[in-house]
């Protein structure tokens, strides 16, 4: 509105003093040429700011990710937008980046977020018991929503692991990281107590031949 009022005031004011369009059209053409060459980035950010104001893909207080920057929107201006990152630093992002780059708005229409936790256990483990433990932990966590209901699936037979996947939802983006971290601790403690091993990549080495003169010796037994 400020820019509309300024432009309207200039047009009316110039008309009152007798400066009409036919007298300033060459000046306008020169300014347009300057924008095209020297001020194109500023003009692009200006236009992008107008698009943000009219389409409103982001609002004050939204949690967004643009490029590799994530944080909360604290100020939207006609040239740039200020994002307060989670480490409390404020980053001024040109508006053009919101239009031309991939933009993720975590809180545009709904604050409910889904998260996934992948868990791999060793071959030979009790898979049904593992699923029972994972289901109990995710359902008992206070930050996990009952609707949509959380779920645990036996996802795949991996190269070194039996892969499970937890899918659950939290009501606020602020709860996302803490909930995942707390579940990681609880899963590790519960699996240790149940004797279920959280597996890691393993590889068997088979020696087919040795250089001449090299002989493998068996490992001597440990002294008691």
pLDDT of residue 151: 95
pLDDT of residue 35: 63
Task: Evaluate whether residue 220 is within a structural domain.
Answer: no
Q: Is the pLDDT of residue 178 over 90?
A: yes
Higher local confidence (pLDDT), 172 or 208:
172
7 and 29 in a single domain? The answer is: yes
Do residues 114 and 135 lie in contact, with contact meaning Cβ atoms separated by under 8 Å?
no
Q: Is the pLDDT of residue 59 over 80?
A: yes
CA distances from 138 to 23, 64, 144, 222 (A): 73, 26, 7, 44
CA-based Rg of the chain, rounded to a whole angstrom? 31
pLDDT of residue 47: 85
* Residues in contact with 51: Cβ distance below 8 Å, sequence separation at least 6, in sequence order: 95, 99
127 and 173 in a single domain? The answer is: yes
pLDDT of residue 81: 92
CATH code, domain carrying 85:
2.30.30.60
Task: Evaluate whether residue 46 is within a structural domain.
Answer: no
Nearest residue to 58 via CA among 79, 73, 80:
73
pLDDT of residue 29: 72
119 and 100 in a single domain? The answer is: no
Task: Evaluate whether residue 209 is within a structural domain.
Answer: no
Q: Is the pLDDT of residue 26 over 70?
A: no
128 and 75 in a single domain? The answer is: no
Residue 192 exposed, middle or buried by CB count within 10 Å (0-12, 13-18, 19+): exposed
**Whole domain around residue 71: which residue ranges?**
51-105
171 and 149 in a single domain? The answer is: yes
96 and 123 in a single domain? The answer is: no
Mean pLDDT of 37-49: 77
Q: Is the pLDDT of residue 224 over 60?
A: no
95 and 124 in a single domain? The answer is: no
160 and 183 in a single domain? The answer is: yes
Task: Evaluate whether residue 206 is within a structural domain.
Answer: no
Task: Evaluate whether residue 188 is within a structural domain.
Answer: yes
Task: Evaluate whether residue 27 is within a structural domain.
Answer: yes
12 and 76 in a single domain? The answer is: no
189 and 124 in a single domain? The answer is: yes
* Range from 6-10, 77-81, 97-101, 115-119 carrying the lowest mean pLDDT: 6-10
Confidence of residue 21 (pLDDT cuts 50, 70, 90): low
101 and 122 in a single domain? The answer is: no
Span 95-152, pLDDT tens digits: 998 888 888 898 888 889 999 999 999 998 999 999 999 999 999 999 999 999 999 9
pLDDT of residue 37: 62
80 and 123 in a single domain? The answer is: no
Residue 217 exposed, middle or buried by CB count within 10 Å (0-12, 13-18, 19+): exposed
Task: Evaluate whether residue 117 is within a structural domain.
Answer: yes
The number of distinct structural domains making up the chain is: 3
Mean pLDDT of 68-79: 89
CATH code, domain carrying 171:
3.30.70.100
pLDDT of residue 106: 86
Task: Evaluate whether residue 219 is within a structural domain.
Answer: no
State the DSSP code for 150. P
Q: Which of 60, 83, 105 is the last residue of a domain?
A: 105
pLDDT of residue 192: 93
Q: Other C-beta atoms within 10 Å of 158: how many?
A: 14
Q: Is the pLDDT of residue 39 over 70?
A: no
């Amino acid at each position: 509105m400020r820019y509309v009022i300024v432009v309207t005031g200039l047009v009316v004011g110039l008309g009152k003093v007798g400066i009409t369009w036919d007298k300033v059209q060459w000046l306008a053409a020169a300014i347009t040429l300057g924008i095209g060459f020297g001020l194109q980035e500023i003009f692009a950010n200006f236009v992008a700011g107008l698009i943000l104001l009219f389409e409103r893909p982001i609002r004050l207080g939204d949690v967004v990710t643009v490029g590799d920057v994530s944080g909360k929107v604290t100020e939207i201006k006609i040239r740039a937008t200020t994002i307060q990152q989670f480490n409390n630093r404020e980053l001024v992002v040109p508006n053009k980046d919101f239009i031309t780059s991939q933009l993720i708005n975590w809180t545009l229409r709904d604050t409910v977020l889904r998260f996934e936790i992948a868990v791999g256990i060793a071959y030979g483990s009790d898979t049904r018991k593992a699923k029972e433990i994972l289901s109990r932990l995710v359902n008992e966590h206070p930050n996990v929503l009952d609707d949509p209901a959380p779920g645990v699936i036996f996802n795949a037979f991996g190269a070194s692991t039996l892969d499970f996947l937890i899918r659950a939802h939290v009501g606020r983006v602020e709860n996302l990281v803490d909930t995942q971290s707390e579940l990681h601790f609880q899963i590790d403690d519960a699996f240790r107590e149940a004797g279920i091993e959280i597996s890691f990549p393993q590889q068997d080495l088979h020696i087919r031949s040795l250089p001449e003169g090299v002989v493998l010796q068996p490992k001597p037994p440990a002294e008691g």
